[in-house]
Chain A
């Protein structure tokens, strides 16, 4: 399977704990995106990388959130001191770096986080 993969698919944690999610993009894609989706809403952009450089961060990305893409391949999203409001589906997407409007994004299946 050459699609975007995410791990884990589900995570249940207690409030105050730290969690880390991993995303493996399609191998030739230079751009990687993180989104968050709460129940009944469309996904909301969090941040994106061009290779290893983090180029844009949403205001949704509080200082408890940090994302990395150290070698320009896989990415991790860490949430420190989780809160119940962090419960959501965290989606990763990747796309080629062609600077054209089509720039289709390929999404992974997501990691569903539940904070108790």
Chain B
């Protein structure tokens, strides 16, 4: 499986935008980019996913580089409840099997 690289931790101020980067230089043409997050003492939850085009949903936006070798998860206004570990995961097309988690980025939000 192609690997992803994320910073170990990031800090943000409450109500400011947050850009969480992910590098995936060995991504293949059929890999989808998924983001999950894990709040303290909870299981992971799905955030967003994309293939080539930028995506928006009620939780976040996903900006995908033109060469697809990197992507950025954007939280438009961070709240204290967004403090979590964010995982960037590649999923092979048609493989609805396991998720391969890396270390993720621990986001800390300051009031």
Contact between chains at B32 and A107 (CB < 8 Å): no
Which residue of A41, A43, A48, A106 contacts B97 across the interface (Cβ within 8 Å)?
A: A48
Mask of A63-96 contacts with B, CB within 8 angstroms, 1/0:
0000000000000000000000000000101010
Closest Cβ neighbor of B46 among chain A residues: A104
Contact between chains at B96 and A91 (CB < 8 Å): no
Contact between chains at B43 and A91 (CB < 8 Å): yes
Contact-residue bracket for chain B: 20 to 34
Contact-residue bracket for chain A: 20 to 34
Contact between chains at A110 and B94 (CB < 8 Å): no
Interface: B44 (CB within 8 A): yes
Contacts of A104 in B (CB 8 A): 46
Mask of A37-54 contacts with B, CB within 8 angstroms, 1/0:
000011111001000000
Contact between chains at A99 and B94 (CB < 8 Å): yes
Contacts of B93 in A (CB 8 A): 101
Contact between chains at A56 and B96 (CB < 8 Å): no
Contacts of A22 in B (CB 8 A): none
Mask of A98-114 contacts with B, CB within 8 angstroms, 1/0:
11111111111110000
Closest Cβ neighbor of A9 among chain B residues: B41
Closest Cβ neighbor of B94 among chain A residues: A99
Interface: A33 (CB within 8 A): yes
The interface stretch among B19-27, B58-66, B70-78, B101-109 is B101-109
Contacts of A35 in B (CB 8 A): 98-99
Which residue of A41, A103, A109 contacts B43 across the interface (Cβ within 8 Å)?
A: A109
| Sampled A-B contacts (29; CB under 8 Å) | A31-B96, A33-B99, A42-B101, A42-B103, A43-B44, A43-B99, A44-B101, A45-B98, A45-B100, A56-B97, A91-B43, A93-B43, A93-B44, A95-B96, A99-B94, A100-B96, A101-B49, A101-B91, A101-B93, A101-B96, A103-B91, A103-B96, A105-B44, A106-B45, A107-B45, A108-B43, A109-B43, A110-B42, A110-B43
Known contacts A93-B43, A107-B42, then 6 further A-B pairs from the complex at CB < 8 Å, ordered by chain A residue:
A33-B99, A101-B51, A101-B93, A106-B46, A108-B43, A110-B43
A binding-site residues for B, Cβ under 8 Å:
4, 31, 33, 35, 41-45, 48, 55-56, 58, 91, 93, 95, 97-110
